[in-house]
Structure 1
Amino acid sequence: MEWQQIIGFYHVARLGSFTRAAEATFRTQPALSQQVSALEKELGCILIERIGRQKLRLTEAGMEFFKYAEEVLNKYDSFLEDLQDLQGVRKGTLTVAAPFTTLYHLFPRIFLEYAGKFPEVQITILDRPQKTVIDLIKAGEIDFGFVLESMLPAGFASWRWKKVSSVLMVPSGHPLLAEKPVTLDSVVQHPLILPPRGSLHSRFSEVEELLQKQGLSYRVIMESSNVELSSLYVEMGLGVSFATVVNRASILKGRKIEFIPLDHYFKDDYVVVSGRKNRRLSSPKSEFLNMILKKRIMET
């Protein structure tokens, strides 16, 4: 069994395509197909079933071998990073994914500080929706992901980072500001700006469930999955919007927007740092996690 055969099979299985795997590994498709066939011949079983011209499916043996290949490749990457640690070389890679709002409001200074401390580490930052972030963690394609704790399935390593509050965004001077506490009956008297229907926003599901439970009808004037976009139209007076925010001041700066607490309807959530369980972290990755958690402690 050759090392390149394991790498080739892993990428075909992960990407579900010989063409895409060939591009990812800088090989020709026939060469990749030949390597997988040689691997199957050596193991004495079929790993990948070819269904038609395009579709591939892993056999039961293929699924087991994929787990083995993934573990071997992860251990190899960890070994290289351990070797660099032993040699006192602070090199390596750090790949982080988070939604746009998290990256925009919470991360710029952190990444700048980290890059200054570890100039030899190759940093990759991905702007991705929460569901994609979770998928990337699961696939082992990123080191850390930042998502809401309420959206993270069981089976992941996670560390609470920042508390998230549920609020109603309204323009300054809005009549709902005089109501304490604000009620949903009053909120639905105004046009709503909500995440798109069928979106993966857990808070939207809770809002919809609450409104339906109370038998309230409401009008959605705009669908937006981006809090910055929603806040712009709230400020214009188009409608009011449910939102989850970490640092109200950063969004409010210079804006004619107010936040009305909704903690009597929704529990607080947390932005968590998440990764795969039982994955050993190299020195640069551990330093990044420590930096994040240290800032959390300093801010409390």
Structure 2
Amino acid sequence: MEWQQIIGFHHLVKQGSFTRAASASYRTQSALSQQIKKLEDEFQCQLINRVSRKKFILTPAGERFYKFVASLMAEHDKLSDDISAIRGLPHGKLIIAAPFTTLYHLFPEQFKSFLETHPYVELTILDRPQTQAIEMVRTGDIDIAIALESQVPSILNSRRWRKVETVLIVPDKHPLVKIRGISLSDIAGYPLILPPRSIETRKCIDELFDKEGIAYRVIMESGNVELSSRYVEAGIGISFARIASGLNPLRGRAIAFLPLTEYFEDDYLAVVSRRGKSLPSYAEDFITLILKGIDNKQSRAKAQP
């Protein structure tokens, strides 16, 4: 059994096709097929069954072999990280995924600072919807995700980061600004700009109105708070948004933020990673960097008169 054969089999299972696996392992499809054939000859059994020209499934032996390969690859990565750490040069790959708004407003400075102190770490940043980012952590495709704590399954690790509250965004001179204790009926009196139905926030909003039997008009759907707020500012409708504490990127605009604590519980942005898998030292350094950042800001705020 050769290392390149192990890598080839690992890519084949992860990518799900010979074409993508060959590209990922920098081999031709023919060379990759030969590597798999040599493994099968060595074990004297089939590792994969070709269902069609492009599709395959793992045999029971293939599934067992992949468990071995996955653990071996994980140990190899950890070994490289450990040796680099001993040399005083953290070295390896770090893949982080988060939604657009989080990446756009919360992370540029942290990423820059991290790269300055970890020049040998290959950082990859992915703009992904929250649910996809969580799933990528679960499957091991990425190391860290940033997502709402309430959406993280118990099988994953979740470290609380920033408090998030749900607010109603309206034009700054909107009639609702003068009302204390806004009701759902008050809100339903105006066209709404809501996230797509596939997003958890939208499901919560729909349930609130349906429970009270209140009809409402959706004039626009958008999962991007920056886009929604522009249309609110233009007077097209009013919108719901989740805003991280200590940071409101929409302030300074001709819009107002009305609390909805009666209807929505506070949530938290969380740093998500796989349970039972230790992160390399440089990944822990990144987590410490962002958690320390919010702690420092809160400390300074408390110290001000």
- The two structures have a TM-score, normalised by structure 1, of 0.94
8 Å Cα contact 2:80/2:91 also seen in 1: no
Q: Match of 1:182, SS? A: coil
The amino acid across from 2:71 in the alignment is: E
1:216 aligned residue: 214
288, 291, 297: which one pairs with 2:289?
291
1:34 aligned residue: 34
What is the rounded CA distance, in whole Å, between the counterparts of 2:48 and 2:247 in structure 1?
53
Q: Deviations over 1:49-99 (max 9, x none)?
A: 211222222233333322221111011011001001111223333221111
2:253 aligned residue: 255
Alignment of 1:131-280 (within 5 A): 131-197=131-197, 199=198, 201-247=199-245, 250-280=248-278
Distance change >3 Å, CA 176–CA 64, structure 1 → 2: farther
- The two structures have a TM-score, normalised by structure 2, of 0.92
Q: Match of 2:141, SS? A: coil
What is the rounded CA distance, in whole Å, between the counterparts of 1:91 and 1:11 in structure 2?
22
What is the rounded CA distance, in whole Å, between the counterparts of 2:36 and 2:72 in structure 1?
17
Distance change >3 Å, CA 84–CA 282, structure 1 → 2: same
What is the rounded CA distance, in whole Å, between the counterparts of 1:238 and 1:194 in structure 2?
12
8 Å Cα contact 1:93/1:122 also seen in 2: yes
Q: Which one is further off, 67-76 or 44-53?
A: 44-53
1:18 aligned residue: 18
1:83 corresponds to 2:91: no
TM-superposed CA distance for 1:165, in Å, is: 0.4
8 Å Cα contact 2:163/2:245 also seen in 1: no
Structure 2: tracts of 5 or more residues without a match: 299-305
Q: Match of 2:242, SS? A: strand
Q: Deviations over 1:81-131 (max 9, x none)?
A: 100111122333322111100011111111122122223322221111112
User: Identity across aligned pairs (percent)?
Assistant: 48
What is the rounded CA distance, in whole Å, between the counterparts of 2:293 and 2:154 in structure 1?
25
TM-superposed CA distance for 1:5, in Å, is: 1.6
What is the rounded CA distance, in whole Å, between the counterparts of 1:196 and 1:84 in structure 2?
45
What is the rounded CA distance, in whole Å, between the counterparts of 1:214 and 1:67 in structure 2?
50
Distance change >3 Å, CA 105–CA 247, structure 1 → 2: farther
What is the rounded CA distance, in whole Å, between the counterparts of 2:264 and 2:46 in structure 1?
51
8 Å Cα contact 1:150/1:202 also seen in 2: no
Structure 1: tracts of 5 or more residues without a match: none
2:57 aligned residue: 57
TM-superposed CA distance for 1:248, in Å, is: 7.1
Q: Over the residues paired in the alignment, what is the CA RMSD in angstroms?
A: 1.6
8 Å Cα contact 1:252/1:258 also seen in 2: no
What is the rounded CA distance, in whole Å, between the counterparts of 2:137 and 2:105 in structure 1?
22
8 Å Cα contact 1:85/1:282 also seen in 2: no
Distance change >3 Å, CA 210–CA 45, structure 1 → 2: farther
Q: Which one is further off, 123-132 or 16-25?
A: 123-132
Distance change >3 Å, CA 291–CA 248, structure 1 → 2: closer
Q: Which one is further off, 44-53 or 177-186?
A: 44-53
Q: Which one is further off, 273-282 or 181-190?
A: 273-282
The amino acid across from 1:72 in the alignment is: L
What is the rounded CA distance, in whole Å, between the counterparts of 2:135 and 2:27 in structure 1?
26
Q: Match of 2:236, SS? A: coil
8 Å Cα contact 2:226/2:250 also seen in 1: no
Q: Deviations over 1:225-245 (max 9, x none)?
A: 111111110111100111111
What is the rounded CA distance, in whole Å, between the counterparts of 1:218 and 1:65 in structure 2?
55
TM-superposed CA distance for 1:253, in Å, is: 3.0
Q: Match of 1:250, SS? A: coil
